[in-house]
A and B are shown apart, each in its own frame.
Chain A
Amino acid sequence: DAGVTQSPTHLIKTRGQQVTLRCSPKSGHDTVSWYQQALGQGPQFIFQYYEEEERQRGNFPDRFSGHQFPNYSSELNVNALLLGDSALYLCASSPQWLDTEAFFGQGTRLTVV
């Protein structure tokens, strides 16, 4: 079992550009959550997907959007990148029931210049 995999691992983008990050959940997991982690901070919840629908969203602008595919994999899209979007983006997967552990990927380090 490969666990949660994210791609790419590192990315450098220019202000104003758009970026797409990808996540494959752990086998058997149908729920995917995305987090943004700035240096020295805890992960901040962006949104969660279940059955291809956004189930809940954190306090992030509409520039942040996502998608979940029938195979449960997910994408995070960020439009009109700002310098402040530079962070580690983490994907976490879990089974449908809510109060269990979340399995995190290694993250994608996004740098906006």
Chain B
Amino acid sequence: SQKIEQNSEALNIQEGKTATLTCNYTNYSPAYLQWYRQDPGRGPVFLLLIRENEKEKRKERLKVTFDTTLKQSLFHITASQPADSATYLCALGDSSASKIIFGSGTRLSIRP
């Protein structure tokens, strides 16, 4: 069955460092991959989308890579700030996707 795995453990990073989150998937051929941020008790907020034919996407301090051979995406936050502390969700969709499949998320904590 389709499976998405994200860092199961919470990630604790010193402010100013680069945070790197991993998303691995199996039994799936996504047409695109998305990253969302979710704060406690709130709905997810879209951050970035990267398509299967793209290797890398950037937006301000965020960078996403997508390796369809390794079936992996890396999500980087450079110059991390305490305000970046949240749960980050990886989500996959295929070319006919009416639905998006989410990973369980990685909780990121940035300490001052």
* A interface list, Cβ under 8 A from B: 4, 33, 35, 40-45, 48, 50, 55-56, 58, 88, 90, 92, 98-107, 109
**Tier of interface size on chain B:** 20 to 34
Say yes or no: A45 contacts B103, CB within 8 Å: no
* Residues of B bordering A, CB below 8 Å: 4, 31-32, 34, 36, 41-46, 49, 51, 89, 91, 93, 96-105
- For residue B105, which residue of chain A has the nearest CB? A42
- Which of chain A's residues has its CB closest to B89's CB? A42
Q: Is A107's CB under 8 angstroms from B103's CB?
A: no
Counting chain B CB atoms within 10 Å of each CB, the highest count among A4, A41, A99, A107 belongs to: A99
**Are A101 and B34 in contact, CB atoms less than 8 angstroms apart?**
yes
> Do residues A104 and B44 form an inter-chain contact, with CB atoms below 8 A?
yes
CB-CB under 8 A from A88, the residues of chain B are 41
Closest 8 pairs between A and B when the two form their complex, measured CB to CB? A104-B43, A42-B102, A56-B98, A101-B46, A45-B99, A42-B104, A48-B98, A55-B98
Residue of A nearest to B90 (CB): A42
Docked Cα-Cα span, A42 to B91, in Å, equals 9
**Highest count of chain B CB atoms <10 Å: which of A40, A41, A50, A104:** A104
> Is the pair A90, B43 in contact by a Cβ cutoff of 8 Å?
yes
Closest to B48 in A: A101
Q: A98-B93, A99-B32, A101-B34 are in contact. Are A44 and B102 (CB under 8 A)?
A: yes
* Whole-angstrom distance between the Cβ of B17 and the nearest chain A Cβ: 25
Which residues of chain A have C-beta atoms less than 8 A from B89's C-beta? 42-43
Q: Known: A90-B43, A106-B43. Is A99-B98 also a contact (CB below 8 A)?
A: no
Q: Which residue of A lies closest to B31 (CB)?
A: A99
Known contacts A42-B103, A99-B93; can you find 7 more A-B pairs with CB under 8 A? A33-B99, A42-B105, A56-B99, A98-B98, A101-B46, A103-B46, A107-B41
Bound Cα distance from A50 to B97, whole angstroms: 13
A41 near B97: Cβ-Cβ < 8 Å:
no
Is B93 within 8 A of A106, CB to CB? no
What is the CA–CA distance of A100 and B31 in the complex, to the nearest angstrom?
A: 12
The smallest beta-carbon distance between A93 and chain B, in angstroms, is 11
